[in-house]
Amino acid sequence: MEDAGALLGKARRIVVKVGSSLLTAADGTLKRDFIAGFGRELAKWRGEKRDFAIVTSGAVAAGMSVLGRQSKPQTITDMHVMAAVGQISLFRAYDEILSPLGFMPAQVLLTAEELAHRTTYINARSTLRRLFELGVVPIVNENDAIAITDRRFGDNDRLAAEIANLIEAELLVILTDVPGVYRDLEAKELLAHAVAADELLDRCVDDSRPTRHGSGGMGSKIEAARRAANSGAATVIAAGADFGRLVAGEGAGTLITDGAGPVRSRMRAKERWLATCAKANGSVYIDEGAVAALLERGRSLLPAGVTRVEGSFQRGDVVSCLDGGGTPVAQGMINYASHEVAALARRQSSEIEKVLGYVIAEEIIHRDNMVRL
């Protein structure tokens, strides 16, 4: 099994996420010396025909420093305000430090709501691809000034995973203030490699020590690694101080892979969006036969396999398919509204016109508009 350094040496498209704990001091001021060292390591990739995007945190903390606040915002509006003020300081620092190193940085601000919509998802992907073609380094942050609280990315770990999926990155590097994932929390024994689905990772989480300015934790980083693995991207969770070792091709941190090698060729762009970004607007429960048809034979979901409907949705919305126990097995864009699906449950496709008076499609969700989970 390759270690993290060897994998980083071969990857051609990389996302590097930098956490708040690395970027900001206890008083919220930006650690410009860290950004400078980080930039010097990135500069070593110049000329190696790599594309890389930076996903950064730190805007809220920077805004707190500028406005003289000592504690985290307690209201949504105050958080938005801190982010709006802090974005200027944060990106000014990146520009002032990275530009002399030969980089042309670009600011990209996104929200989960924007990536959940197919059109803006495609727009974001096109923009990032064009930036790579022009030799520009995208610096991506959540648009905290307008982000909806219950749909936030969580210290940008999830955002980094979704950017990795969006640009078809081979590797996601999450830099934090610990050396990686500890196999043994008491002995601080580092886990060198893990498979994303391994339950061992869940026992390695210790989120009892929140950072002053961060909103994530090891749990959100492991979840990000699992999201990245959905489209074949490996993830390295490592200390910011070890980034230079990774760039040099040395092993560091914890490497999390999907356990089956690259699967990106088997997952189309639409499937990546459905699996990682799309927001489900409702659910349909399906029987055992339908579960087997979807997962084992790659079939479409037909009316006969639907047992009941949950939530309200319209034609074209993204809907989750749940087995009898409520476990998600697939997700896709549905051909009928919720009331229509409810009327068609347990019916044959040949009965659709009799029940509804019209036929939009023979399938409730076509296999081409579905991703198996």
Numbered residues of the known binding site? 17, 57, 144, 156, 176-177, 215-221
Q: Three-state DSSP class for 316?
A: coil
From the annotation, which residues make up the binding site for substrate? 57, 144, 156
Count of other CB atoms within 10 angstroms of residue 102: 11
Exposure string of 288-310, with b = 16+ CB inside 10 Å and e = fewer, is: eebbebbeeeebbbbbbbbeebe
Query: Could you tell me the maximum CA-CA distance found in the chain, to the nearest angstrom?
Result: 70
Nearest CA to 366 among 344, 321, 339, 334? 334
CB within 8 A of 59, min separation 6: which ones?
82, 83, 86, 87, 90, 141, 144
Nearest CA to 214 among 15, 26, 16? 26
C-beta separation of 13 from 51 below 8 A? yes
> Which secondary structure element, helix H or strand E, spans residue 52, and what is its range?
strand 51-56
| Residue 293 tokens, joined | 């048809």
CB within 8 A of 327, min separation 6: which ones?
none
| Residue 23 tokens, joined | 């970027």
C-beta separation of 31 from 25 below 8 A? yes
CA atoms within 13 A on the CB side of 104: 6
Question: Rounded to whole angstroms, how far apart are CA atoms 15 and 373?
Answer: 23
**CA quadruple 212, 217, 220, 222: dihedral, nearest 10:** 150
C-beta separation of 163 from 169 below 8 A? yes
Phi-psi region of 290 (alpha: psi -120 to 50; beta: other; left: phi over 0): alpha
From the annotation, which residues make up the binding site for ATP? 17, 176-177, 215-221
The residue assigned the tokens 């996420």 is: 17
